[in-house]
A and B are shown apart, each in its own frame.
Chain A
């Protein structure tokens, strides 16, 4: 079991994730993620796409893993990583259902996802974490190790293996059909005057 409820009301998530872990996460849960997280954004997804379509092996085993949509800024000498906040998840909507079907358990980014992505989360047990967009300096402190594992020529868009400790996020879309963005608007929208 790698999702545990902490005394402070947050949930501690340790990778890799099982179906049961995903099922225990609910929209609005605040989590701290510890373990391995892979980065991939537009260009890396573009290279994974033909491999997925042809059923060929991917450069990373996505089973049980989290993909974080980010392209970090360069690390200063002596630092682990530069600024590392999330990019917009919807640009990866085209690729996500197929990755979830292959066993990827979670994606992390910011912004709303398409209905096919949400359907894939329900069907194959997946979850979408929101990290705070534009808080890349703060988020860098939770990244303890970085290693490029594929597509180094893509620079910031290479696939990186991150080791994170207590990385803060919130469950936006769970595998039960929940959507934090819709709940938020419902709770706070006021009548037009």
Chain B
């Protein structure tokens, strides 16, 4: 067994939260540049340029890229030969969020109950998903998930007869429904298969793949390319002002499913796609 002390987890999560909010990842900056070469709409090109400027200003002036500094979603890959020492894993992640959001001047956007809606004041708790894997490493992947786009995420239970065409139509319908509200250009995470909750979790996990990278499964890669081309023919464009850049990437993950089922979950992510990873 290898000991990983909770203090290292707190520090790592704190840095990931601050870094994600102030420094947009290079995959997104490259995606903006690619879009600037294909976007026909002058208003769309102007928005893309402002988003690039915004990323630059956030980085240099240490001010969040977006005022909605997100709900922290943390995917943990916990090596089965790791012993978390000095406290609880979940407490350590939440302490990292607390310290990162305080010290980084990030917004507290979480209410303690969806019903009484009192702000917790420190952006905790995070949503934490843990997978136990082989090995002696602890991998932390965090996303600062914006609320406006999350509100446009959707779920459906298709019939097996609906098939892949049904999946495609549902994803495109989701892009249409998200429209200008979810801050396009969008990234879509699509989870297909599994059970109700499995598809939803896959749709989040899919967002962590590098934007613009190929899906390692050739069938899914072809599906993603077709969906992206269709989404970008809708005309919604950057900020919904009209244009060719409605989505910068559509990522699909699948899981085996029941003979009766074809669950499809779509997480909608905005251009403030703040994701960062660390391995301890």
A74 to B62, CA, bound (A): 12
Query: Which residue from A110, A181, A185, A186 sits with its C-beta under 8 Å from B183?
Result: A110
Map CB proximity to A onto B196-210 as digits: 1 under 8 Å, 0 otherwise.
000000000000000
A112 to B184, CA, bound (A): 13
Query: In the assembled complex, which residues on chain A have CB atoms less than 8 Å from the CB atom of B240?
Result: 110-112, 130, 180-181, 184
Query: Which residue from A85, A137, A185 sits with its C-beta under 8 Å from B236?
Result: A185
Please tell me if A59 contacts chain B, counting CB pairs below 8 Å. Answer: no
B-facing residues in A168-189 (Cβ within 8 Å)? 170, 180-181, 183-189
Query: In the assembled complex, which residues on chain A have CB atoms less than 8 Å from the CB atom of B148?
Result: 87-88, 110-111, 133
A143 to B148, CA, bound (A): 23
Please tell me if A84 contacts chain B, counting CB pairs below 8 Å. Answer: yes
Query: Which of A16-24, A75-83, A94-102, A119-127 lies at the binding interface?
Result: A75-83
Please tell me if A116 contacts chain B, counting CB pairs below 8 Å. Answer: no
Please tell me if B112 contacts chain A, counting CB pairs below 8 Å. Answer: no
- CB of A134 within 8 A of CB of B242, answer no
- CB of B181 within 8 A of CB of A112, answer yes
- CB of A76 within 8 A of CB of B62, answer yes
- CB of A82 within 8 A of CB of B181, answer no
Query: In the assembled complex, which residues on chain B have CB atoms less than 8 Å from the CB atom of A187?
Result: 41, 235, 242
Number of chain A interface residues as a range? 35 or more
Output the least CB separation between B209 and chain A (Å): 21
Output the least CB separation between B101 and chain A (Å): 9
Please tell me if B29 contacts chain A, counting CB pairs below 8 Å. Answer: no
- Given A83-B65, A87-B148, A184-B240, check contact A110 B54 (CB 8 Å): no
- CB of A134 within 8 A of CB of B272, answer yes
Query: Which of A50-58, A65-73, A144-152 lies at the binding interface?
Result: A65-73
Query: Which residue from A71, A83, A111 sits with its C-beta under 8 Å from B63?
Result: A83
Query: In the assembled complex, which residues on chain A have CB atoms less than 8 Å from the CB atom of B57?
Result: 137-138, 141
- CB of A193 within 8 A of CB of B65, answer no
Query: Which of B2-10, B74-82, B102-110, B256-264 lies at the binding interface?
Result: B102-110
Query: In the assembled complex, which residues on chain B have CB atoms less than 8 Å from the CB atom of A189?
Result: 233-235
Output the least CB separation between B52 and chain A (Å): 10
- CB of B64 within 8 A of CB of A184, answer no
Query: In the assembled complex, which residues on chain A have CB atoms less than 8 Å from the CB atom of B51?
Result: 132, 134-135
- CB of B181 within 8 A of CB of A74, answer no
- CB of A111 within 8 A of CB of B237, answer no
- CB of B65 within 8 A of CB of A137, answer yes
A37 to B109, CA, bound (A): 22
A71 to B64, CA, bound (A): 13
Output the least CB separation between B46 and chain A (Å): 9
Please tell me if A166 contacts chain B, counting CB pairs below 8 Å. Answer: no
- CB of A188 within 8 A of CB of B243, answer yes
Output the least CB separation between B138 and chain A (Å): 29
Please tell me if B119 contacts chain A, counting CB pairs below 8 Å. Answer: yes
A170 to B218, CA, bound (A): 42
Output the least CB separation between A76 and chain B (Å): 5
Please tell me if B133 contacts chain A, counting CB pairs below 8 Å. Answer: no
> Which of A79, A134, A192 is the most central at the interface, judged by chain B CB atoms within 10 Å of its CB?
A134
- CB of A130 within 8 A of CB of B67, answer no
- CB of B54 within 8 A of CB of A136, answer yes
- CB of B109 within 8 A of CB of A136, answer no
Output the least CB separation between A88 and chain B (Å): 4
- CB of B67 within 8 A of CB of A85, answer yes
Please tell me if A191 contacts chain B, counting CB pairs below 8 Å. Answer: yes
Query: In the assembled complex, which residues on chain B have CB atoms less than 8 Å from the CB atom of A170?
Result: 43, 241
A134 to B119, CA, bound (A): 22
A130 to B47, CA, bound (A): 12
A43 to B242, CA, bound (A): 31
Please tell me if B69 contacts chain A, counting CB pairs below 8 Å. Answer: yes
Where the two chains meet, the residues of A that have a C-beta atom closer than 8 Å to any C-beta of B are 43, 70-76, 79, 82-85, 87-88, 90, 110-112, 130, 132-138, 140-141, 154-157, 170, 180-181, 183-193
Which 8 pairs from chain A and chain B are nearest by CB? A184-B242, A189-B235, A111-B181, A188-B235, A83-B67, A133-B183, A83-B64, A73-B107
Known: A184-B43, A188-B244, A193-B233. 10 other contacts (CB 8 A): A76-B62, A83-B58, A87-B148, A110-B181, A111-B182, A132-B50, A136-B64, A137-B61, A156-B119, A188-B236
